[in-house]
Amino acid sequence: MTTTHPSRRHFLKRTAMSLAAAAFAGSALTALPAQAEVGYPEKEALTFGFIKLTDMAPLAIAYEKGFFEDEGLYVTLEAQANWKVLLDGVITGQLDGAHMLAGQPLAATIGYGTEAEIITPFSMDLNGNGITLANDVWEEMLPNLPKRDDGKPAHPIKADYLKPVVDERNAAGDPFKMGMVFPVSTHNYELRYWLAAGGIHPGYYDPSNGDTSGLIDADAQLSVTPPPQMPATLEAGTISGYCVGEPWNQQAVFKDIGVPVITDYEIWKNNPEKVFGITREFAEKYPNTTVHLVKALIRAAKWLDEDNNANRPEAVEILSRPNYVGADEEVIANSMTGTFEYEKGDERPVPDFNVFFRYNATYPYYSDAIWYLTQMRRWGQIAEHKSDDWYMQTAKQVYRPDLYALAAKELIAEGKMSAGDFPDFDSETGYKPPQGEFIDGVTYDGRKPNEYLQQFPIGLKGKDQV
């Protein structure tokens, strides 16, 4: 290998090494065409996994609208059977990346479940989940619910009204069972948050003693069911309710087997939801590819929210194809186009039910990561007390706004997006200001995780152990 005629391999290696500098000093890579500061992708053929949920939309859109191809990436999207299979796929390298639960990269990194270094350069969406109860439970709750003037139940519905039903069932020796999608899923934490806010204990995990079922002291027993099977499991009577992403809550309404009682938007306004996960090894081995794929995803997310959701009907049609979500268009449309049907016929506007780009939805905030970590601590998945600093370091290890910023700056330089589309990268700390819009009125400040945990009557805090 001579220096006068650098081979392609050498050239790419150089590109990779100088990637961090590249965003600021494009002149270092004069061999490249003027507009592209990040080199060509090192790996062009990629396979990404997803679960059949509407929040996989950025992946489908980036593929169908050619955003991946614009970046020189040839992407295959593969539906996965469940979150465990999906995570294993990413860890073993069978998948190059995947639509993941926000808790998955965090749990994998801290070694809860399968240990692996997974990072996320891109947050996929805000909100998008709901809690559905079986018809018989709903009928028992209904008489006690506060009503609006038109006779329909007033929202948000708190779990306080579910508590008598749960207590009654438990007293009769018939445990109250609910489904969620994965032990470290947003859904698990949201469901637990909602139940605990209503005085129903959702149970502790005790991994140090080998308990990963999360049923210790539980009033309501939560168990894992893959999202697409939620309605069928509810219909079979195995569970009395579930927390899941769309379209599986709306599906219950259509099938007349259950009633969605609350959306996660009402539990925590604009809560972060799925993320796009890749291994740290992948990001280090293929730095250019990583930036290119984040660029494609950012463009897709923007497309989804553009012109006040004008593209959503088209997105709904794409998602309803059998190789993506595959549910009926009208079911998907319900939540994607700004309304949510609670009881049959009780359709209410929830314009922010699915947010893909507004409110900097795609930026991987450290404070979002820390919230998930606090919930893992609250329910015993993190068995020991951890310092505030530990929370921050872990968040930094997994959430990678630096990679996001590289992609965003490229898009701005190419004129595809404007600086106003993004947070101000010079002053952004990665911590959202304290947020108070939770169903129980508790305020969350990402910089003070331990103080935050002190506020909950139910849940581990301080030096507590199960």
- Chain residues that interact with another protein, rule: CB under 8 A: 7-8, 11, 32-33, 40, 44-45, 52, 63, 66, 69, 72, 74-77, 79-81, 85, 92, 94, 228-229, 231-232, 235, 251, 255-257, 320, 322-323, 325-328, 331
- How many angstroms separate the CA atoms of 372 and 190, rounded? 10
- Cβ 302 to another protein, closest distance in Å? 22
Cβ-based nearer residue to another protein, 32 or 413: 32
Q: How far is the CB of 45 from another protein (least distance, A)?
A: 5
For another protein, the closer CB: 92 or 393: 92
Q: 196: phi > 0 → left, psi -120 to 50 → alpha, else beta; which?
A: alpha
Least Å distance between CB 30 and another protein?
13
Q: Which long-range contacts (CB under 8 A, 24 or more apart) does 10-18 make?
A: 11/39, 12/39, 12/40, 12/42, 12/288, 15/39, 15/287, 15/288, 16/42, 16/287, 16/288
* Radius of gyration in angstroms for the set of CA atoms belonging to the chain, rounded to a whole number: 22
Q: Judged by CB, which is closer to another protein: 99, or 163? A: 99
Closer residue to another protein in complex, CB, 75/278: 75
Between 10 and 147, name the residue whose CB sits nearer to another protein. 10
Q: How far is the CB of 422 from another protein (least distance, A)?
A: 27
Q: How far is the CB of 74 from another protein (least distance, A)?
A: 4
For the bound state, the minimum distance from the C-beta of residue 229 to another protein, rounded and expressed in Å, comes to 8
CB of 316 to another protein, least distance (A): 13
Nearer to another protein, 120 or 251 (CB): 251
CA dihedral 25, 30, 35, 39 (to 10 degrees): -80
| Identity of the residue, 313 or 436, whose beta carbon is nearer to another protein in the bound complex | 313
